[in-house]
Amino acid sequence: MKLKEIQAKSIITKTNLPDGDFVINPYIGCMHGCKYCYAKFMKRFTGHLEEWGDFIDIKTNAADLIQTKTNKYHGKKIIIGSVTDPYQPIEKKYQLTRKILKKLLPLKIKLNILTKSDLITRDIDLLKKFKDCVVAISFSSLDYNLQKKLEPYASSYDKKISALKKLNQAKIKTVVFISPILPELTDWQKIVNQTKEFANEYWFENLNLYPSIKKDIYKLLEKIDPSLITKYNEIYLNNNYWDNEEIKIKEFCKTHKLNYRIYFHHKSKK
Ligand code: SF4
């Protein structure tokens, strides 16, 4: 792992993401090494020759870049962790996310944090002070062996559930982000059943086979069960699969009275 301390020029960036106004990414790169990581495309903007997951640039001045005497961000939604995990292991040492939270507190923002790490519980004292704060913890599997293959350095699913519980007990709004849903592998109903006591909302996202991740995912499928490759080829040629999953999710959520959002990236042929 190549670690480099850098001085960033800016830290709060405008975003086109549908659910946010601005994003903050305290690090460039991510140690969690998820095989399905959509942020891999970032590598080409970094000048790094290492593989995605093998380098981290640490924006040591991140918190200093946040102006506190401004109302520019008042009521705006700021997402922390759109292309990196703000609570990846290096955060234990540098505490950039914690410092950023302290600077954001007076700005009266709507805070949204995405993570796969139970390190977030370290900052519950600060998160509680935000009037509008949502923490989304993402899950792709509740099978320990599969999770190790998919997201080798993220917190294990039981640690994520325990983090959800602590956040929920602290009255912080929690989202279980089931992402990505891998056909034949992600049992989203099981994830809901094991987390519903501690989740205020569910988000669902399907696996999008971007060219940057397809090779890694297929290598993994080959190891898990080679017959999955044929199945995936069929699924990704035929949008009906995701249309049907969407219907199942909607019915399930209505039956169980769950708040939910579906972020499926596919175009229906209908
Ligand atoms: S935690 Fe998020 S940013 Fe980090 S490797 Fe996994 S998917 Fe990518």
Q: What is the pLDDT along the chain (270 residues), one digit of tens a residue?
A: 999 999 999 999 999 988 899 999 999 999 999 999 999 888 888 889 898 999 999 999 999 999 999 999 999 999 999 999 999 999 999 999 999 999 999 999 999 999 999 999 999 999 999 999 999 999 999 999 999 999 999 999 999 999 999 999 999 999 999 999 999 999 999 999 999 999 999 999 999 998 889 999 999 999 999 999 999 999 998 869 999 999 999 999 999 999 999 999 765 443
30 CA closest ligand 1 atom index: 4
Nearest to 35 by CA among 212, 264, 244: 212
What span, in angstroms and rounded, lies between the C-alpha atoms of 197 and 189?
14
For tokens 């870049």, the residue is 65
Q: Report the pLDDT value the prediction gives residue 4, as an integer from 0 to 100.
A: 96
Q: Report the pLDDT value the prediction gives residue 267, as an integer from 0 to 100.
A: 56
CB of 42 closer than 8 Å to CB of 109: no
CB of 252 closer than 8 Å to CB of 189: yes
What span, in angstroms and rounded, lies between the C-alpha atoms of 267 and 242?
9
Ligand 1 site-directed mutation target among 85, 140, 157, most atoms within 8 Å of CB? 85
- Please name each of the domains of the chain with its CATH number: 2-207 (3.20.20.70)
Q: Is 39 in the pocket of ligand 1 (CB under 6 A)?
A: yes
Q: Report the pLDDT value the prediction gives residue 266, as an integer from 0 to 100.
A: 63
Nearest to 182 by CA among 151, 136, 137, 159: 151
Ligand 1 site-directed mutation target among 37, 79, 140, most atoms within 8 Å of CB? 37
CA of 70 from ligand 1 middle (Å) equals 31
- C-alpha gyration radius of the chain: 19
∠ CA 27-98-10 to the nearest 5 degrees?
45
Nearest residue (by CA) to ligand 1, atom 7, is 37
Produce one character per residue of 141-153: b if its CB has 16 or more CB atoms within 10 Å, e if not: bbeeebbeebbeb
Residue type, 3: L
Count the Cβ atoms, other than its own, within 10 Å of residue 226: 10
Please name every residue paired with 202 in a beta bridge, in sequence order, or none if there are none.
176, 260
Q: Is 32 in the pocket of ligand 1 (CB under 6 A)?
A: yes
∠ CA 223-225-230 to the nearest 5 degrees?
115
Q: Is 30 in the pocket of ligand 1 (CB under 6 A)?
A: yes
- Taking 3-state DSSP, the helix, strand and coil percentages for the chain, each rounded to the nearest 5, stand at 40, 20, 40
Number of H helices, E strands in the chain: 9, 11
CA of 88 from ligand 1 middle (Å) equals 9
Q: Is 37 exposed, middle or buried (0-12, 13-18, 19+ CB in 10 A)?
A: buried
What span, in angstroms and rounded, lies between the C-alpha atoms of 49 and 207?
26
Nearest residue (by CA) to ligand 1, atom 8, is 37
Residue 137 token pair: 């913890």
Q: What pTM was estimated for this model as a whole?
A: 0.95
Q: Cα–Cα distances in Å, from 216 out to 34, 44, 149? A: 10, 18, 11
Q: Which distant-in-sequence residues (6+ apart) come within 8 Å of 166 by Cβ?
A: 121, 124
